[in-house]
Amino acid sequence: MPVASPPPTSVRSAWSRIAAFSAGLAALLIFTVAGPASAHDELLGSTPSPNEQLSTAPTSVVLTYSAAILHEGAEIVVLDASGKDWTDGDPAIDTNTLTVPVASGMPEAGYLVEWRVVSSDGHPISGTIPFAVGDATPLQSSQATPDAGGDGISVVPFVVGGIVVVVVVAVVVAIAVARRRTTPPRD
């Protein structure tokens, strides 16, 4: 006994369900992956301040951030033109403030504070602060020893790419299943 082919409305209904499912899944992924935009924490101020000309060498460097910073991953160095690090101990963190002692005997010269911390949202942030002691010129980042660490690669493009692949595969499978159900068997 031959099987009658489905009416055209069921084919349109299947395509409508596939389209609605795909649109809903895409909207869900966009709103859950993208989320609300939020800026990373930032450096609000420092002592010494950028390009500050100090008459005497500082005893410490103090950095103040817009939110609490994590203890893990905090790094700070105070470099002279030869690459010598003038920090004298580990950085201390008190909520949103990082303080590091500086060695005594700093000569008149240009210096560069290079810092990197993990912000309250878990992302690393970094920067440089040039300053000088005496009549010297503040040391700029291009004059300092190259930074050993760099910012990591963001995983967001890989996550979004993976989600796109999953959605495409799901749509292809849904179309294949819909076609199989709507295609009449051959005699």
Per-residue pLDDT tens for 61-104?
999 999 999 988 899 999 999 999 999 999 999 999 999 999 99
Q: What is the pTM of this model?
A: 0.58
Between CA 69 and CA 49 the distance in angstroms is 19
What pLDDT was estimated at residue 94?
95
Between CA 60 and CA 54 the distance in angstroms is 13
Q: Is the pLDDT of residue 185 over 60?
A: yes
What pLDDT was estimated at residue 92?
95
Per-residue pLDDT tens for 149-170?
344 445 566 666 777 778 887 7
More confident residue, 108 or 18: 108
What pLDDT was estimated at residue 179?
72
Q: What percent of the chain has pLDDT over 90?
A: 48
What pLDDT was estimated at residue 30?
61
SS (H, E, C) 63-112: EEECCCEEEEEEEEEEECCCCCECECCCCEEECCEEEEEECCCCCCEEEE
What pLDDT was estimated at residue 173?
77
